[in-house]
């Protein structure tokens, strides 16, 4: 415990009154000093007898860069307190501090900025007595971790996977699925002329539902150089999500993680979680974040990143990641990834 500014001011009054009383015999000054001393003692005893605040915080769901989450933290205890959240790099918060009479609830908006697993908390609580003379600062409540996935972009590589990875030259098409913007590599026979005619500045293609891939599986291997791991993670996540949406079972191989073959929404979360955490502490510019050559040779899709960009190899077909994405400005939504 320590005195607040107000407490030091009261202490100054006490000291001054006593000095004057001793020097000039002005006993009446004790009438000023005595109440001030009692106030300091009472405040100290009150705060000492007040239990330390306790904190109850909710789990923060996983998110993508740019997503926001509303965070509520309940603080139990007594007295008046300044409450402040401990927010790490990679996350930003608005309204993450307040002054209130306990018990109280701190509610603020958290913005996820960077890929990774970020430690949020504990709370810093500066509790004061009712007179505001004495304060006690504690760091209360356990921290929680916020998982931020890499961004996921729409990949126009489904036919590339079918042709070059699954070695299908004739793709059976079934019902119409959707219309999307043209991306390099899309067959011209898929151009949706009606939609294109309405928007002469854009070319749209038809995307078909194809259920024939539901019994197939692919392995994705991702590797990169220092300083480019974020880009590698985004590319691998985009390809993995595209493959899962196509009905494929997906296995992911990383230098520091291995997600075994699987499919479905739960598997999507496991893949994204691995890519969120992969090599977030890798900072040396002299090392490569590499996989063994035999792992790369066995993979159906290989993602490689360097300082010059990211390449994606589908079987024998190697392309720049920029060439197979529909839009780099508009990542996909977070559907199916709340945890």
- 339 residues of the chain, pLDDT tens digit each: 667 667 666 667 667 766 666 666 555 556 666 777 776 666 676 666 777 788 998 899 999 999 999 999 999 987 788 899 999 999 999 999 999 988 999 999 999 999 999 999 899 988 777 777 777 888 877 889 999 999 998 877 666 666 666 665 444 444 456 777 766 556 666 677 777 777 777 777 776 655 445 558 889 999 988 888 999 999 999 999 888 887 889 999 998 899 999 988 899 999 999 999 998 655 445 445 678 889 988 998 999 998 889 999 887 788 888 877 765 555 654 433 444
Residues in Cβ contact with 56 at an 8 Å cutoff, skipping those fewer than 6 apart: 73, 74, 76, 141
Give the rounded distance of the alpha carbon of 238 from its chain centre.
Answer: 17
Nearest Cα neighbor of 186 from 330, 319, 329 is 319
Instruction: Name the DSSP letter for residue 125.
Output: E
Determine contact, residues 77/98, Cβ cutoff 8 Å. Answer: no
| H and E: helices and strands count for the chain | 8, 20
Determine contact, residues 88/116, Cβ cutoff 8 Å. Answer: no
Residue 109 pairs with which residues in a beta bridge?
70, 94
Determine contact, residues 303/239, Cβ cutoff 8 Å. Answer: yes
Cα–Cα distances (Å) from 74 to 54, 57, 112, 144, 193, in that order, read 8, 6, 22, 14, 56
Determine contact, residues 225/307, Cβ cutoff 8 Å. Answer: yes
Determine contact, residues 14/33, Cβ cutoff 8 Å. Answer: yes
Tell me phi and psi for residue 42, to 5 degrees.
Answer: -65, -40
Place of tokens 């000093």: 33
Residue 108 pairs with which residues in a beta bridge?
71
Residue 338, token pair as written in the block: 């709340």
Quote the CA–CA distance of 77 and 249 in Å, as a whole number: 51
Tell me phi and psi for residue 94, to 5 degrees.
Answer: -120, 125
Q: Is 188 helix (H, G, I), strand (E, B) or coil?
A: helix
Instruction: Name the DSSP letter for residue 115.
Output: S
Give the largest CA-CA distance in the chain.
108
């Amino acid at each position: 415990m320590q005195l607040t500014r107000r407490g030091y001011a009261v202490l100054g009054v006490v000291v001054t009154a006593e000095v004057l009383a001793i020097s000039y015999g002005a006993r009446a000054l004790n009438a000023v000093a005595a109440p001030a001393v009692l106030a300091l003692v009472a405040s100290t005893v009150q705060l000492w007898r007040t239990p330390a605040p306790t904190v109850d915080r909710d789990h923060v769901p996983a998110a993508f860069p740019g997503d926001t989450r509303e965070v509520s933290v309940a603080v139990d205890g007594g007295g008046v307190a300044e409450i402040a959240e401990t927010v790490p790099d990679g996350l930003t918060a608005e309204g993450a501090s307040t002054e209130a009479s306990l018990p109280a609830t701190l509610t603020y908006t958290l913005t996820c900025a960077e890929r990774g697993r970020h430690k949020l908390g504990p709370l810093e609580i500066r509790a004061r007595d009712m007179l505001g003379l004495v304060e006690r600062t504690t760091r209360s409540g356990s921290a929680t971790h916020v998982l931020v996935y890499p961004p996921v972009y729409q990949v126009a590589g489904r036919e590339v996977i079918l042709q070059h990875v699954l070695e299908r030259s004739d793709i059976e098409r079934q019902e119409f699925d959707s219309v999307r913007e043209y991306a390099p590599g899309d067959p011209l026979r898929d151009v949706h002329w009606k939609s294109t005619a309405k928007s002469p500045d854009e070319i749209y293609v038809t995307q078909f539902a194809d259920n024939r891939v539901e019994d197939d599986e692919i392995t994705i291997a991702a590797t990169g150089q220092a300083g480019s791991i974020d880009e590698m993670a985004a590319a691998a996540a985009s390809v993995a999500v595209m493959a899962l949406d196509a009905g494929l079972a997906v296995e992911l191989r990383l230098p520091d993680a291995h997600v075994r073959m699987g499919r479905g929404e739960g598997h999507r979360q496991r893949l994204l979680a691995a890519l969120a955490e992969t090599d977030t502490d890798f900072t040396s510019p002299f090392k490569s974040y590499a996989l063994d050559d035999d792992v790369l040779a066995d993979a159906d899709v290989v993602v490689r990143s360097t300082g010059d960009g990211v390449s994606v190899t589908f079987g024998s077909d190697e392309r720049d990641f920029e060439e197979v994405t529909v839009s780099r400005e508009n990542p996909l939504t977070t559907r199916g990834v709340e945890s």
